[in-house]
Amino acid sequence: MERKRKLDTYQRFKKQYPDYFGAVEALGTAVRHAGPLDEQVIQLVQLGAAAAIRSEGAVHSHVRRALEAGATPEQIHHSLLSLTSTIGFPTVVAALSWADDVIGRAEPNT
């Protein structure tokens, strides 16, 4: 229910401010094409940043995108665990929990 509400809010603002959202999407495309990193690596990097700022919605988004780019649940978990000495144990555990919200939905029979 919470995810649907956030998606509704996102869609409403996207419709209300199409130029702004178009510019943000264009920036994302430009960044992805600016260097040698593949989509999976970019999503794991952005996942780490989302975890660091404790953004549950961004963690959900980047886990979804990482899975779509071919990352495994184990790679996602490892990328978050590797942040422990940088962002701290409690923040990592929260991010793992948020990641599993998405991974659980992505796995068959869950």
Domain ranges of the chain: 1-35, 38-110
**Higher pLDDT pick, 8 / 73:** 73
Mean pLDDT of all residues in 87-107: 93
Mean pLDDT estimate for the chain: 92
What is d(CA 80, CA 48) in angstroms, rounded to the nearest whole number? 6
Q: For domain 38-110, which architecture applies?
A: Up-down Bundle (1.20)
What average pLDDT does this structure show over 81-110?
90
Residue range 41-50: average pLDDT? 98
CB burial of residue 15 (10 Å; 0-12, 13-18, 19+): exposed
Give CA–CA dist 90/105, Å, rounded.
23
Alpha-carbon distance of 62 to 99, in angstroms, equals: 9
In this predicted structure, the answer to whether residue 109 has a pLDDT above a threshold of 80 is: no
Per cent of the chain over pLDDT 90 is: 83
**How large is the average pLDDT for residues 67-79?**
98
